[in-house]
């Protein structure tokens, strides 16, 4: 168990929801990321029980590292329950203020996210106060074009979201959508390497201090994916599909195929691989079944927890 600085509390969430970070001072609490929408009630309860133990704290600001539904899907629930002011990366601010645009970006991945409001943006290159600490905001494209990381120099604390995990990083969606993911992810890893990081709080999994080993691992994963762009594209399709099966819980073969047919990034993946959507659907299903991630029994596709 890693000792985190005082006034920083990690809520390590399970599948579907990204980790949440509570950062507070004597009077207010700020929250980084909000989990997946289907876990909204749990997200509220977790914060409420923390506030019950710290009655002097008033909810203040909610920050999003990036607008993927496992990181911002609980925004609406938290805003309705606690009246948080929400801050999103600057390049997403306009789309959140004009919700149909944000909605489109969630539909692009075939994922739900209830409408929320943002009143301020997080500008890359600037510093922002979270709790009583100053955090630098850095852009980390690769997994998500507009993703940011938050780094507190006084603590050596890095909130890395999906740019760096202890074992790897989030799927490189940008390589499928814009052919830029490999290059961007490498620059993101180099950026992290250049920061005096002592502890990383990732978007998924435990906080960790073995920074160099995580970076070595990530570079080697990146080399592996880059050596076969086709493998990376398959991986993107698999991650998208598996996430959908997790939140749907069980679905028919027909519903599975229909989701693939209407999800733009899945369709784009098939196109890049020179496969029909039906072919990529059945290859993805077969791969995830062989990997024991999914089961297909009694006509239903289910996630194997
Ligand atoms: Zn993500």
Q: What is the CATH number of the domain that holds 161?
A: 3.60.15.10
Give, for 95, the enclosing helix (H) or strand (E).
Answer: helix 90-97
In a domain, 2, yes or no: no
Distance CA 286, CA 56 (A): 53
- Report CA(167)–ligand 1 centroid distance (Å): 15
- Report CA(56)–ligand 1 centroid distance (Å): 33
169 and 191 part of one domain: yes
The helix/strand count (H/E) of the chain reads as: 12, 14
Residue 159, SS3?
A: strand
Angle, helices 99-108/264-273, rounded to nearest 10 degrees = 40
Angle, helices 229-248/253-262, rounded to nearest 10 degrees = 120
Asked whether the beta carbons of 62 and 43 are under 8 A apart, the reply is: no
In a domain, 1, yes or no: no
Q: For residue 97, is pLDDT > 80?
A: yes
Among 226, 259, 284, where does a domain finish? 226
pLDDT for res 209:
97
- Report CA(298)–ligand 1 centroid distance (Å): 32
pLDDT for res 3:
82
**What phi and psi, each to the nearest 5 degrees, are found at residue 59?**
-60, 135
- Report CA(236)–ligand 1 centroid distance (Å): 12
Torsion of the alpha carbons at 181, 183, 187 and 190, rounded to the nearest 10: 110
**Mean pLDDT score across all residues of the chain:** 96
78 and 96 part of one domain: yes
264 CB neighbour count, 10 Å cutoff:
14
- pTM across the whole model: 0.96
Q: For residue 1, is pLDDT > 80?
A: no
- 220-225: average pLDDT: 98
- Report CA(163)–ligand 1 centroid distance (Å): 8
141 CB neighbour count, 10 Å cutoff:
22
- Report CA(53)–ligand 1 centroid distance (Å): 31
Among 195, 226, 257, where does a domain finish? 226
Residues with Cβ within 8 Å of 179's Cβ and at least 6 positions away in sequence, in order, are none
Q: Which two tokens stand for residue 117?
A: 């409001």
- Report CA(13)–ligand 1 centroid distance (Å): 14
Range of the domain at 22: 8-226
């Amino acid at each position: 168990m890693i000792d985190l600085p005082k006034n920083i509390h990690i809520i390590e969430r399970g599948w579907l929801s990204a980790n949440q970070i509570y950062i507070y001072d004597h009077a207010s609490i700020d929250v980084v990321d909000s989990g997946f929408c289907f876990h909204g009630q749990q997200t509220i309860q977790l914060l409420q029980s923390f506030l019950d133990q710290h009655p002097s704290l008033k909810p203040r600001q909610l920050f999003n590292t990036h607008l993927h539904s496992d990181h911002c899907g609980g925004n609406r629930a938290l805003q309705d329950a606690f009246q948080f002011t929400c801050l999103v990366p600057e390049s997403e601010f306009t789309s959140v203020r004009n919700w149909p645009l944000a909605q489109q970006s969630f539909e692009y991945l075939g994922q739900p996210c209830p409408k929320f409001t943002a009143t301020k943006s997080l500008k890359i290159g600037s510093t922002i106060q979270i709790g009583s600490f100053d955090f630098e905001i850095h852009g980390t494209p690769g997994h998500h074009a507009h993703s940011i990381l938050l780094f507190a120099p006084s603590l050596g604390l890095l909130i890395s979201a999906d740019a760096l995990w202890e074992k790897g990083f989030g799927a490189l969606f940008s390589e499928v959508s814009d052919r830029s993911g490999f290059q961007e992810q490498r620059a993101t890893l180099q950026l992290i390497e250049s920061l005096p990081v002592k502890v990383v709080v990732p978007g998924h999994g435990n906080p960790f201090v073995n920074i160099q080993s995580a970076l070595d691992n990530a570079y080697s994963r990146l080399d592996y994916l880059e050596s076969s762009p086709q493998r990376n594209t398959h991986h993107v399709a698999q991650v998208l599909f598996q996430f959908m099966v997790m939140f749907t819980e069980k679905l028919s073969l027909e519903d599975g195929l229909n989701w693939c047919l209407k999800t733009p990034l899945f369709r784009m993946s098939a196109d890049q691989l020179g496969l029909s959507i039906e072919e990529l659907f059945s290859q993805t299903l077969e791969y995830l079944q062989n990997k024991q991630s999914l089961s297909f029994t009694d006509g239903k596709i289910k996630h194997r927890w």
